[in-house]
Amino acid sequence: MSARFIVSPAPHVQGHRTTSRIMFDVVLALVPALIFSVVVFGWDALAVTCVSVIGCVVFEWAIRRFVFRGKSTVGDFSAVVTGVLLAFNLPASVPLWMVLVGAFVAIGIAKMTFGGLGKNPFNPALVARVFLLVAYPVQMTTFPHPTGELVDVFSGATPLVAVKHGLVDAASLDFQDVLFGFIPGSLGEVSALLLLAGGVFLLWRRVISWHIPVSILGTMGVFTYCVGGWEFALFHLMAGGAILGAVYMATDYATSPMTRAGKVIYGVGIGALAVTIRLWGGYPEGMSFAILLMNAVTPLIDTYIKPRRFGVNRWARRFWK
């Protein structure tokens, strides 16, 4: 008798979602914001993004191929996501070689040294951003000013910097500009509205859950409201990388907690840290540091915050034994 039947343990059906589909959805969600930055910052933005994505993919492929000597994992789009997110964290005027350095740090150091997808303790794009920020502070904090014209680009201070150093009062800023993104800033962080739209898309596709973004933005909102009233709060929510970080960076699967309660704790921690750094720290922008710090806490959260076990009295332990 030949082997006619296939045997495998249950379950025998699989959901439609795959890793590559999830990653592709994230890329899709980021595309509107990318198009917007190309419109306001010119072709430089596209160049930075392309170099970043290509760099990440090539590094991922090369390390898999020549260091791990394993199967290529480029097909799962995770390197593309890292590339786009890294580019979103860079000013459009950054030299392209620096983008390549960032891509190497993101993939080579932050991701592959730990074993690749799903094993990295810190968000690769953020590690790269922070690395570049510390290594090349001048280029990383020189932001082109969007003037609506594609070619005319000069450096300007981001609203956060301006407010921090007392150049402008938060209440006097044009909120429409902040909301729509006609402000200086990193390539992808400027358009709060489009980033939010992408976030809604991800929520609809159930790629992310609401817990992390809502708890981050909620904490930041409450915190800044307590400090400086609602206009100040609104400004802080929309300016800088708050939304980019809350929706796309903090929700990175590998570096965020697994349980819902854990996600809320993580989000609250990020929000509180980010506002603390923004208001009293040395940097005007604190999202990246806040997220990286909470990334470090994630394993601890996962160890202690457990989902509510079905049928188990929360306070009773092992009554059946």
Partner 1 sequence: MEEMSNDCRQADCAGCKGCKPQPASRTLLLAYGLPLVLLVGLFWGLHVWNGTLFWTVATLCALGIVAAVVLYGVAQRFKVEEDVRIDETEKLLPGANCGGCGFAGCRAFAEALVSRRDISELFCPVGGNATMDAVAVYLGKAVAAQDPTVATVRCGGSCDKRPRMSEYDGEPSCAVAALLYGGKTGCSYGCEGYGDCVAACEFGALEMDIETELPEVTPDKCTACGRCVKACPKGIIELRKKWPKNRAVWVACVNTEKGSVVTKSCKAGCIGCGKCLKVCAFDAIRIENHLAYIDSVKCKLCRKCVAECPTGAIEVSW
Partner 2 sequence: MRTFPRGGIHPSDNKLSRGTVIERLPLPEVVYVPLSQHLGAPAEAVVKKGDVVRTGQLIARASCFVSANVHAPISGVVESVDLRLNGQGKYQEMIVIRHLGFSGASSAMPNLSEEGGTLSTSRPPSRVVATKSAPRNSPNEVTEEWADGIDTSPELVRECTLTPEEILKKIEMAGLIGMGGAGFPTHVKLTIPPGKHVTLLLINGSECEPFLTCDHRVMLERGEELLIGVTLLMRVLGVDEARVGIENNKADAIAHLQALTREHEAYRGVRIVPLKVRYPQGGEKQLVAALTGRRTPPPPGLPVDVGCVVCNVSTAVAVYEAVQKGKPLVERVVTVSGRGLTQPKNLMVRVGTPVSVLLAAAGGLPSDQGSDGRVKVLNGGPMMGKAMSYMEAPVVKSMSGLTVMEGPSARRRQQGECIKCARCVGVCPMGLEPYLLMKLSRAGMWDRLEQEWMINCIECGCCQFGCPASIPLLDFIRLGKQEVRRRNKI
Question: Which residues contribute to the site for partner 2 (CB under 8 A)?
Answer: 3-15, 17-19, 21-22, 73, 76, 78, 116-119, 209, 253-254, 256-260, 306-313, 319-321
For partner 2, the closer CB: 77 or 131: 77
For partner 1, the closer CB: 11 or 166: 11
Q: Which residues pair with 144 in a beta bridge?
A: 155
Tell me whether residue 282 is exposed, middle or buried, using C-beta atoms within 10 angstroms of its C-beta: 0 to 12, 13 to 18, 19 or more.
exposed
Please state, as a whole number, how many other Cβ atoms lie within 10 Å of the Cβ of residue 135.
Answer: 13
| Residue 282 binds: one of partner 2, partner 1, none (C-beta under 5 to 8 A by kind) | none
Per-residue buried b or exposed e for 158-189, using 16+ beta carbons within 10 Å of the residue's own CB: bbbbbbbeeeeebeebeeeebbbbbbbbbbbb
Interface residues toward partner 1, by CB under 8 A = 1-9
Distance CA 19, CA 23 (A): 6
| Residue 142 binds: one of partner 1, partner 2, none (C-beta under 5 to 8 A by kind) | none
For partner 2, the closer CB: 21 or 165: 21
Closest contact distance (angstroms) between CB of 115 and partner 2 is 8
For partner 2, the closer CB: 12 or 69: 12
Closest contact distance (angstroms) between CB of 11 and partner 1 is 11
Closest contact distance (angstroms) between CB of 10 and partner 1 is 9
| Residue 249 binds: one of partner 2, partner 1, none (C-beta under 5 to 8 A by kind) | none
Contact 295, 121 (CB under 8 A): yes
Distance CA 140, CA 135 (A): 9
Backbone angles phi, psi at 27, to 5 degrees: -60, -45
| Residue 17 binds: one of partner 1, partner 2, none (C-beta under 5 to 8 A by kind) | partner 2
| Residue 151 binds: one of partner 1, partner 2, none (C-beta under 5 to 8 A by kind) | none
Closest contact distance (angstroms) between CB of 55 and partner 2 is 21
C-alpha separations of 159 from 5, 66, 179, 197, 304 in Å:
66, 44, 12, 22, 39
Question: Which structure tokens are listed for 164?
Answer: 């921090």
Backbone angles phi, psi at 121, to 5 degrees: -80, -25
| Residue 320 binds: one of partner 2, partner 1, none (C-beta under 5 to 8 A by kind) | partner 2
Distance CA 210, CA 264 (A): 9
Closest contact distance (angstroms) between CB of 71 and partner 1 is 16
Closest contact distance (angstroms) between CB of 124 and partner 2 is 13
